[in-house]
Amino acid sequence: MTASPAAGNGKLQRLYFFGRLQLPGVGLPAEKYAEHLQRMYGLFRQKSPEANWEPFLADIYPVDAFLAAGCLQGDSRAWETLFAARAGRADRLLVDALRARAIRLFPRDEEKQDSAVTDFWGHLIVSETPGSVPILARYDGQRPLVPWLIRIFQNWQISKLRSRDERSTALAEDDLLEDRGLPADPNLRWHAAFCDAARAWLHDLPEPDLLLLGLRLRYRLSQREVAGLLGVHEGTVSRQITALRDRCFEFVGQRLLADGWTGDDLTGFVYNEMENLLLEEVRLSADNLAQMLGALGKKLPVGE
């Protein structure tokens, strides 16, 4: 069994003091920091059982890990820092970014929007159900904290909506923690080029294709659930999704290559960027999806 980092571990000490330097107001004791890193390492090992401390510490986001540990310890300055954190290129406060997601999930229902954000904050360090792990205690330090929290909020709310629907079950733990957000340090030029190309592709996309994207991405329905809702064979949905993905990659990829893309992993870049853009797409709003389903005599898979 791999040993935990000892108090004298030089790398651990450097990470701790770097966190203290960047967040001087957060009074997190070194021994508590080590305990939280041990917990994060345990989460990391669940995905990479053969890995040891070296790759974990090498890829950790030190300030974010330090901040999360401070919040879990109940440090008031850590919470103040998290509340004041900025999210995305619009430089919004984190709480505003969460509310924007809530508005898209619960259009025209301010009470649900407010309660969704409030409940999420409340369960960051308090378990939602007995025996469950608080949301913030699931953070493994291997990704930026603020984008991770926004993604968890989105998935958490969708999971709760799905669990209320008679045909659906809540998202599995792996889906709840899925994070395919933007790269930590994206090239802004290519982000803008991608958005232009993707929006051009979405602009002329037929409604049946938009509906598939909305059901699969916004409501996280499986291919089987989509097939059942639309009254078609599951294989048909699978072929349509594959064809849609291929057309997207072809269109967007050609645009980026024409603009001079020289990166090696074009597929990974499109995957990283596309999910976030689709969640912002007006044509995939809950209202539009409801209208498309209504035209087919169907209802939304989850309550508005």
What is d(CA 128, CA 122) in angstroms, rounded to the nearest whole number? 9
Residue 70 lies in a domain: yes
Query: Considering 148, 176, 204, which residue would you say is the last residue of a domain?
Result: 176
At 97, list the tokens.
Answer: 């970014």
Highest mean pLDDT among 35-44, 166-175, 241-250, 295-304: 35-44
What is d(CA 241, CA 110) in angstroms, rounded to the nearest whole number? 34
pLDDT in tens, 149-199: 888 887 788 777 666 554 444 434 443 344 433 333 344 566 677 778 888
Residue 5 lies in a domain: no
Q: Which residues of 109-144 are buried (b: 16+ CB within 10 A; e: fewer)?
A: eeebbeebbeebbebbbeeeeeeeeebbbbbbbbbb
How many structural domains comprise the chain? 3
Contacts of 263 (CB under 8 A, 6+ apart): 190, 269
At 253, list the tokens.
Answer: 């990829």
Are 194 and 277 members of one domain?
yes
Instruction: Give the max Cα distance, the chain.
Output: 66
**DSSP structure string for the chain:** -PPPPPTT-HHHHHHHHHHHHHSTT----HHHHHHHHHHHHHHHHHH-TT--HHHHHHT--HHHHHHHHHHHTT-HHHHHHHHT-EETTTTEEHHHHHHHHHHHHSTT-HHHHHHHHHHHHHTSSS-SSTTPPPGGGG--SSS-HHHHHHHHHHHHHHHHHHHHSTT--PPPHHHHT------SS--HHHHHHHHHHHHHHHHT--HHHHHHHIIIIIS---HHHHHHHHTS-HHHHHHHHHHHHHHHHHHHHHHHHHTT---S-HHHHHHHHHHHHHHH-GGGSHHHHHHHHHHTT---SS--
Are 202 and 272 members of one domain?
yes
Query: Considering 63, 80, 97, which residue would you say is the last residue of a domain?
Result: 80
Are 99 and 147 members of one domain?
yes
Are 218 and 257 members of one domain?
yes
Which residue matches tokens 């349509």?
240
Is residue 107 over pLDDT 80? no
Are 55 and 95 members of one domain?
no
Are 246 and 289 members of one domain?
yes
What is d(CA 12, CA 6) in angstroms, rounded to the nearest whole number? 8
* Nearest by Cα to 196 from 140, 150, 126, 251: 251
Is residue 51 over pLDDT 50? yes
Residue 183 lies in a domain: no
Residue 271 lies in a domain: yes
Are 149 and 236 members of one domain?
no
Mean pLDDT of 203-220: 85
Percentage with pLDDT > 70 across the chain: 76
What is d(CA 224, CA 172) in angstroms, rounded to the nearest whole number? 16
Residue 56 lies in a domain: yes
Are 224 and 143 members of one domain?
no
Query: Considering 80, 110, 130, which residue would you say is the last residue of a domain?
Result: 80
Residue 2 lies in a domain: no
Residue 302 lies in a domain: no
Are 241 and 225 members of one domain?
yes
Residue 232 lies in a domain: yes
Are 117 and 144 members of one domain?
yes
pLDDT in tens, 224-278: 888 988 989 989 998 998 888 888 888 888 887 887 766 555 666 566 567 667 7
Domain that holds residue 285: 188-295
At 151, list the tokens.
Answer: 């993604």
Q: Which of 18-27, 158-167, 208-217, 249-258 has the lowest mean pLDDT?
A: 158-167
pLDDT in tens, 65-86: 999 999 999 999 999 999 888 8
Are 170 and 215 members of one domain?
no
Instruction: Name the more confident of 272 and 296.
Output: 296
Are 161 and 242 members of one domain?
no
